[in-house]
Amino acid sequence: MLESYFHAMETNTLDLTHLAFIGMSGTGKTFWSRRLADSGRHVVSCDDLIGRRLAEHLPSGDRAGFNNMANDLAAWMGWPDSATYAERESQYLAEEIGALDEVLTGVEQHPEESLILDTTGSVIYTGNNLLMRMRRDLTVVYFAASRAEEQLLIERYLSDPKPVLWRGAFRAKPGELPKDTVARCYPALLAARRQSYEVLAHATLPVAELRAASYDVEKFMAEVRRQASR
């Protein structure tokens, strides 16, 4: 039902003044946000907004840069088998919902102001109402990782964890080490999210293509425009 609703909706922003980047952590959303910022576009990072809302819990407060903020949030949330994880996962999601609502309200009140929104991997858990608003007012671009690249995302999470909402997908077997549980359960988390990302997106860009040296901002925008106008 939700899929048919999303695909029936028309985005109001085919001139590409308002974009939202979605996809798993590590797929290049922030990299391309920064490239577009360098070309003069206004970028808002959901990670930064959430970090500021949770600043009192973080070592660096609201003074951390992007990488430190993400690392501080990951450290605060803890490993998914920790005693405090479920409570902090819920708290993080509540702040993410608040942050996204704040951004979308700003877009609704000031549609003349352009925006690139760098979302988190967990944006799909913020609820249908917010996702419908986002899809209505922004052109949603999905950074899609191949199956081979997804294995790299798993390895990256194990070596350099970023905030991840597991939403019950982390299920340890008796005697299993936490890192082994991550390696086993992460693919299922990716598969579940992939379907939601695909439904939400106006344009889907393969991560492998985006990494090509010849892929510049002009080509990026042209491909988003081509797909969004279909």
Q: Express each pLDDT in 63-80 by its tens digit.
A: 544 456 778 888 899 989
pLDDT in tens, 163-189: 899 999 999 999 999 889 998 999 899
Beta carbons within 10 angstroms of residue 9's beta carbon: 12
CA dihedral 29, 30, 36, 37 (to 10 degrees): 160
Average pLDDT over the chain, rounded to an integer: 88
End-to-end Cα separation, the chain, in angstroms: 21
More confident residue, 61 or 202: 202
Cβ atoms 204, 195 nearer than 8 A: no
Map out the domains of the chain with their CATH numbers: 2-223 (3.40.50.300)
139 DSSP β-pair partners = 19
Single-letter amino acid code for the residue at 129: N
pLDDT at 8: 42
Instruction: Walk across the sheet containing 203-206 and list its strands.
Output: 43-45, 115-118, 18-22, 139-144, 203-206
pTM of the model: 0.89
Average pLDDT over residues 19-45: 93
